Structure 1
Amino acid sequence: MEKKKKSEDTEQVAVPKQRKVSSGPLRDKSRTMARMVEAVGKVIQKKGYTGLTAPNIALAAGVDKKLVWTYFGGIDNLIEVFLQSKDFLKTGAKPVIDDMLSNPNNVGAEEFNKLLQAQLTTLMKDRYLHKIIHWELGEDKKVLRIMAEKREEIGEGLLKLIDPQFTNTDVNIRAIAALLLGGVYFLTLHAKNNGSTICGININEEQGRIEIEKTIQSIVYNSFEKAKSQK
């Protein structure tokens, strides 16, 4: 009888449920790669550009340095992935750019102004982007040149959308764009690195930033209006 009971108990034992797999080779690899990309930024912040070596990045990511080559094919490729993840035209301005490309016939002063304002906002907030721009200005490196060329290609595509509005006028929208972009770069880098004012304006303060935003908008809208009046 007791033997029979034991047999019945054995039969009633529930089969353990299959645990849902929350990890695996592919997911683990993806997470590790993301950690390594993030580690590039940490190394830049802590050691600067010269500190971007495989051992330093691996240490910051908590992985074996061999994975730099296994997962990315080399240090330059890893750095390029990081730079792409921080590129202004692919992050801060992406919604504006997507809208412009989706509606090429409706690109005007409003859209162009939004693009410049998005750049100003992004540069005011993104400390990594400051480091990248400094790096571009101070060192001739292939990966940085490639990124700059890709950025220029995107910018060229956007400028072609508005070029027709300025043909046969004396308004050079490309020169205006270059001055505005250069001004935004310098103002934000200067303000964030030493905190000083330029022409009495401090864009670290809300009022100073608002004045710059209003002036960018004014220049853009006046340029489009002037070109329109000459058609």
Structure 2
Amino acid sequence: METFHKKDKEETKKKLIQAAGEIFMKKGYQGLRAARIADVAGVSKTLIYRYFGTVEELFKAYLAQKDFWLAMEGQVEELLEDSRPDFGKQLAKQILEAQIIYFFQNKEMQEIMRWQISEPNQIARTMADSRELLGEELLSLSDPYFQNSGVNLRALLAIIIPGIYYLVLNAKVNGSTFCGININRKEDMEELQKIVKQAIDWCYEKAES
């Protein structure tokens, strides 16, 4: 009986998270209301408060599932351990390439980023801070390699990662190019992935020399 209740609870939570996502995509953050979420999920409104406490916490649960960076949290220890030998070089390339693909293909992540920069609020700030904490853990691998090298990998990533966001949103929202690059085209997408990985290689090679 206990197993049944746990399964039922998890199914209900999934329904509520999915409902919150559907409403967010159609009506934005301001459209998230307990009654509306419960109606879409087909469950009682009281279950939102029982399982999540508040609508805000329910929305955070949705964001944690859809955000590329936050979804990596459970893998961090394993990633760090596997990537120590090369100071995170291959990991950086793999993560950036995966981020490009994920962000390009995931409409929900695109909407989340647009919401975050256009409607500043505490939830958006909390998300940004969580990403920063995760980033600090990953960058702890590469910091010793670049110390006193005159090469700043952090600054490069601070340009590349927002650049990916902009290129994708520009291509998806306006369908336009940037510097002649339109990542709606397969060949341009492949070039973007290639040059991002090359930039990481150049950084490590420069620091070594």
TM-score (norm 2): 0.92
* Distance of 1:112 and 1:26 partners within structure 2: 38
Give 1:59-208 correspondences, 5 Å limit. Answer: 59-91=39-71, 97=76, 99-106=78-85, 107-208=87-188
Q: Which amino acid aligns with 1:203?
A: I
* Distance of 2:52 and 2:74 partners within structure 1: 28
* Distance of 1:61 and 1:212 partners within structure 2: 39
* Distance of 1:98 and 1:119 partners within structure 2: 19
Shift of 1:179: 0.5
* Pairing partner for 2:19 from 15, 39, 48: 39
Deviating beyond 6 angstroms after TM superposition, the runs of 4 or more aligned structure 1 residues are: none
Count of residues in correspondence between the two structures: 207
* Distance of 1:74 and 1:58 partners within structure 2: 13
* Distance of 2:57 and 2:88 partners within structure 1: 37
Tell me the alpha carbon deviations over residues 177-217 of structure 1, each in whole angstroms, 9 at most, x when there is no partner: 11011111111111122211111111011001011111101
* Distance of 2:95 and 2:154 partners within structure 1: 14
State the identity %.
Answer: 37
Alignment correspondent of 1:223: 203
Tell me the alpha carbon deviations over residues 114-135 of structure 1, each in whole angstroms, 9 at most, x when there is no partner: 1111111110111111111111
Larger radius of gyration: 1
Q: Which amino acid aligns with 1:175?
A: A
Shift of 1:94: 6.5
* Distance of 1:95 and 1:217 partners within structure 2: 24
Contact persistence 1:54–1:75 (CA under 8 A): yes
Shift of 1:146: 1.1
* Pairing partner for 1:210 from 167, 190, 194: 190
Contact persistence 2:13–2:51 (CA under 8 A): yes
Alignment correspondent of 1:28: 8
Shift of 1:75: 0.6
Contact persistence 1:44–1:52 (CA under 8 A): yes
Alpha-carbon RMSD: 1.9
Q: Which amino acid aligns with 1:165?
A: Y
Structure 1 residues 58, 127: CA separation in 2 closer, same or farther (over 3 Å shift)?
A: same
* Distance of 1:222 and 1:178 partners within structure 2: 16
TM-score (norm 1): 0.84
Q: Which amino acid aligns with 2:63?
A: L
- Three-state SS of the structure 1 residue aligned to 2:183 is coil
Unaligned runs of 5+ in 2: none
* Distance of 2:44 and 2:10 partners within structure 1: 15
Structure 1 residues 169, 162: CA separation in 2 closer, same or farther (over 3 Å shift)?
A: same
Contact persistence 1:96–1:111 (CA under 8 A): no
Contact persistence 1:35–1:61 (CA under 8 A): yes
